[in-house]
Chains A and B, each alone.
Chain A
Amino acid sequence: MQQTGSLVCVGTGMTLGSHISPLSRSYIEQADVVFLLVADGITEQWVGEMNNDVRSLQPYYQTGVSRMLSYQQMVAAILSEVRLNKRVVGAFYGHPGVFAWVPHKAIAEAKAEGFAAHMEPGISAEDCLIADLAIDPGTYGCQHFETSQFMFYKRCIDTAAYLILWQVGVAGDRSLAKRGTDGRYRQLLIDLLAEYYPLNHQVILYEAVTLPIQQPRITTLALAELVNAEMDPKTTLVIPPATKMVANQQMLDKLAALQADDANYQ
C-alpha cells in the first residue's frame, strides 16, 4: 500500500513575526495537522491562527514526570497522524534540529516506516545569542553542551574557545522531571567549571527574545555568582575564553615544509 502521509518538522524561529521563514509558514498553512511546541503562550496563539488544526504538544509535559516520557508521547502523537496518511507538520521554536530530540526522532521513525519526512531549519537561540552578544564563534571556536549532559559525562574543555551551556536552569537534573534546579546543583556545576576557569571569570546569562516587545536578557556576572543567579529553563550560560590559543608549532613546521615543497615544484 502506498504511503501518502508525510512529516515536515519546521522551525518557527525565536521571535514572533521576525524569524519564521516563508517556507516554514507555508508548510504550516498547508498541513492537514500541525503539532506545535513553542516557547510562550502568545506565540502558541499566533501559530494557532495559521491553520485550523494546530495541536499544542505542551499537554504532554506533566509535573513530576520524566520529560523523556513526554518526548516519546509527542513522537507517538505525531506519528499516529502520519500513519493516517495526513500531511503532518511539527512546528518547533527556534531550529527544529538544534538541541531537540522530538523532531529528529519523529523524522527518523517516519522514514523508517516508509513515509516522506524532512526538516526545514529555523533561526535558533544560538543564532540570536551570536547577534545579541556580538560574538563570532569562528574567532576562537565555540563548544556547546546541554548543561546536565556536560555534568554527567567527562568532557575535554578548550578554555581558549567559548563554552556555551544550554538549559543551565535545570543543571544536573537526573530525573528529567524538574522545571528548575537550585543552588546546590549549580554549586556542583561551578565546582566542575572551576577546574578550568577562575571563580571571578566573567560569564554571561542569556535569554533570547520570544516576543517583539521584549529585550534579550544579558546578565554579566562572576562564575562564583551563578549559585544565586536567577534562572529560567530557557537561560543559557555563555563562558568567554579564559586563555589564549597556543600555537601548534609542530604542525606549523610540517605545514611550512609542505609549503616549501610546493614552492620547489613551481
Chain B
Amino acid sequence: MNSNVLQLLQRLGEDATLRHLADTQLEQVVNPLNFDPAIQQAICQHDDIKLAQLLHANNKIVCMILPAEEPKPDDEPAKQPEDTPEPAEPEIKRVV
C-alpha cells in the first residue's frame, strides 16, 4: 500500500498537470484509487502529519546538518608582519 501512495505523491510532485491542483481536482485524482479512505482523506486535506502516521513514517526527523561552532582561541588572527599573508580562515567558514 505504501508503495502505491508514494508513487502517487511522486506523480503529484513531478507532473505539471497535477502539481498545483485545486482541492476538488485533487479529490478527483485521489478518490478513484484503491487506497485506505483515511489515507485519501489525509492527502485531500493536505494533512501531512496524519499521512505520515498512516504510512508509519519516521516522525522523529531532524533536519539540521550544519553545526554552528563557537569561536576558538585559535580563531583570533595573530598579529602578523605587514608583508605576510592573511591568517587562515577560522574553522567555521570552512564548514559553511
Contact = CB atoms under 8 A, between A and B. Distances in A.
Interface string A207-249: 0001111110000000000000000011000000000000000
A46 interface: yes
Given A45-B55, A211-B48, A233-B62, A146 B68 contact: yes
Nearest to B57: A41
A101 B70 contact: no
A58 interface: yes
Interface in B1-27: 2-3, 6, 9-14, 19, 26
A265 interface: no
Interface residues of B, number: 35
A210 to B, nearest CB: 8
Interface stretch (A12-20, A191-199, A254-262): A12-20
A23 interface: no
Contact of A61 (B3, B9, B62): B62
A100 B58 contact: no
B81 interface: no
A136 interface: no
Interface string A36-69: 0111111011100100000010100100000110
B38 interface: no
Contact of B9 (A42, A167, A215): A42
Contact of A71 (B63, B67, B96): B67
B39 to A, nearest CB: 11
B53 to A, nearest CB: 10
A147 B48 CA distance: 27
Interface of B: 2-3, 6, 9-14, 19, 26, 43, 46, 48, 51-52, 55, 57-71, 92, 95-96
26 contacts: A16-B13, A37-B63, A40-B63, A45-B55, A46-B9, A56-B58, A58-B58, A58-B61, A67-B67, A71-B65, A99-B65, A104-B95, A149-B96, A152-B69, A152-B71, A166-B66, A174-B70, A179-B62, A211-B13, A212-B9, A212-B19, A213-B12, A213-B26, A213-B46, A213-B48, A233-B62
